[in-house]
Amino acid sequence: MKPRRWMLLMVGLAAWAGAGPAYGQDMRVRQSEARQAREVLMQKADAEQRAAEAEAATVQARIADDQAALDQAIAALEKQNARLRSSVEGLTAEVRSLAEQEAALSAQLAETDSVIRELVGLIRVAAKDTATLWRENLQSARGGPDPAFLQSFAEQARFPGMADVRRLVAALELYIQHSGEVALGQGTIVDPAGLETEADILTLGCFTAVYRLKDEIGFLTYAEASQKLYALSRLPSRRMQKQIAHYMTGQAEAVPMDISRGAALRQLTHELSLWEQVPKGGPIVWPILAILAIGALIVLERVVFLLRKNCNAEKLMQRIAALIDERRWPAGRKACLELRGKPVARVLAAGLECCHLPREDMENALQEAILREVPRMERFLSTLGMLAAIAPLLGLLGTVTGMIDTFDVITRFGTGDPRMMSGGISEALVTTMLGLSVAIPIMLAHTLLNRSVDRRIGQMEEKALALVNTVHKSRADHG
């Protein structure tokens, strides 16, 4: 229908366009021409309509064919989509299962990795400990594992394999074997003079090594840097040397050893005796030593004096009492004069000289004789007590001077190096120790001597009173 309308529209337009110039023509001619033109146009429009309808039918058939093909393609795609969806669900389930397996394997791998790291850490620690044991082991002088191999483990320079672990186990087994091994043989040592020499070497496991060089027997220490055995500068005691010699010759089953792997022996080497420590006390030690010498002389003199003046007062008094009962006054005085070197005898002799006097006068005479003996018996005791008081004061003075030196060093050089302060501290402690060491025995000797003198004075007073009583009783008995 559309082509026909379009043709009519074209005819109308053409008629309208030609109407102006041909307006004056005959209307019938115009109508006839118009009718013919309309018929022509109608025929043409019908032909075009039929062609359009045929073409539309063709297009419609093609569209139907395409629709059928499209429906088939859609059905095929839907089937394929269903298959793919099923495949995707299967793959999703498989991915989920694989993810779970991956998580489980990751956890197992992490646990295994942790165990491996822990095992490797233990192996490195064991290697480090083994390297330390071999470095400090005197058996290393006889040979041992490669220290660089053990050190590479300890410093994490390489990852250990089974072959390395076997070498580490072999090193530990060798160390254990040497630790329980006692061996006696020849070897090279560095003697106390610093010279290398051949000597008999006794090794007691990894603890102690002993050497015998002619008549000299001593302990050995191991130096890691040079891998040599060095003789200690100080020899053990004679008794210990004798025990070692008997063990080396098979005459004894026991031998002294250092279970601290040389620490006790090094302490023995650096240990100083009292007389080796005295010079470290500075100038204050000499007055303290002088006090010790003077105190020792006084104590010795007083002990000798009191021993020489000692006598059996009871026996002498019994003898004099018997002579007085017999009225033998000269014999009694003679018995006292025989022991005139003894204070008790001199006091009793003075009493017998005054036996004819009244009791009060006789007691005064005896008291005078006793007072005459006391100064000689107490001589130097006050000096000894003064020395006992001065010695610790001098020690305290040395302590103060030593601490002054220490603080002076701290002021100048700081506290970075303790060895610079050790001199002042040593002086302070040595003088204190020496002052107390001198004062304590002097004070003890002073106390004992005082008690001895007091006892002898009491004895003289007792025998003097006994003499007075005996003389006056004899007078009363004989009128």
Residue 188, strand partner residues: 198
Q: Does residue 293 carry a pLDDT above 90?
A: yes
* pLDDT higher at 38 or 446: 446
In whole angstroms, what is the distance from residue 1 CA to residue 48 CA? 10
Does 387 map to a domain?
Answer: yes
- Residues 31-55, mean pLDDT to the nearest whole number: 82
Does 45 map to a domain?
Answer: yes
Does 414 map to a domain?
Answer: yes
Are residues 191 and 310 part of one domain? no
Does 275 map to a domain?
Answer: no
Domain span at 12: 2-113
Contacts of 422 (CB under 8 A, 6+ apart): none
Q: According to the 3-state scheme, what is the secondary structure of the chain?
A: CHHHHHHHHHHHHHHHHHHCCCCCCCHHHHHHHHHHHHHHHHHHHHHHHHHHHHHHHHHHHHHHHHHHHHHHHHHHHHHHHHHHHHHHHHHHHHHHHHHHHHHHHHHHHHHHHHHHHHHHHHHHHHHHHHHHHHHCCHHHHHCCCCHHHHHHHHCCCCCCCHHHHHHHHHHHHHHHHHHCCEEEEEEEEECCCCCEEEEEEEEECCCEEEEEECCEEEEEEEECCCCEEEECCCCCCHHHHHHHHHHHCCCCCCCCCCCCCCHHHHHHHHCCCHHHHHHHHHHHHHHHHHHHHHHHHHHHHHHHHHHHCCCCHHHHHHHHHHHHHCCCHHHHHHHHHHCCCCHHHHHHHHHHHCCCCCHHHHHHHHHHHHHHHHHHHCCCHHHHHHHHHHHHHHHHHHHHHHHHHHHHHHHHHCCCCHHHHHHHHHHHHHHHHHHHHHHHHHHHHHHHHHHHHHHHHHHHHHHHHHHHHHHHHHHHHCC
Are residues 236 and 178 part of one domain? yes
Query: pLDDT at position 367, please?
Result: 85
Q: Say whether pTM exceeds 0.85.
A: no
Q: Which two tokens stand for residue 304?
A: 């000798």
Count the domains in the chain.
3
Contacts of 218 (CB under 8 A, 6+ apart): 192, 210, 211, 231, 232, 235, 236, 241
Compute and round to an integer the Cα radius of gyration of the chain. 66
Are residues 303 and 226 part of one domain? no
In whole angstroms, what is the distance from residue 255 CA to residue 249 CA? 12
Q: Does residue 7 carry a pLDDT above 70?
A: no
In whole angstroms, what is the distance from residue 122 CA to residue 314 CA? 86
- Residues 322-327, mean pLDDT to the nearest whole number: 72
Q: How confident is the model at residue 1 (pLDDT cuts 50, 70, 90)?
A: very low
Are residues 226 and 195 part of one domain? yes
Are residues 290 and 221 part of one domain? no
Does 125 map to a domain?
Answer: no
Are residues 334 and 463 part of one domain? yes
Rounded mean pLDDT of the chain?
A: 77
* pLDDT higher at 119 or 89: 89
Does 420 map to a domain?
Answer: yes
Are residues 167 and 39 part of one domain? no
Are residues 301 and 193 part of one domain? no
CB 287 within 8 A of CB 391: no
Contacts of 12 (CB under 8 A, 6+ apart): none
pLDDT digits (tens, 9 = 90+) for 415-471: 655 555 555 666 677 788 888 889 999 999 999 999 988 888 888 888 878 877 777
Does 245 map to a domain?
Answer: yes
Q: Which two tokens stand for residue 185?
A: 């043989």
Are residues 328 and 464 part of one domain? yes
Query: pLDDT at position 22, please?
Result: 47
* Boundary residue ending a domain (207, 228, 261): 261
CB 204 within 8 A of CB 257: yes
Are residues 413 and 319 part of one domain? yes
Does 303 map to a domain?
Answer: yes
pLDDT digits (tens, 9 = 90+) for 175-193: 777 777 777 878 788 877 7
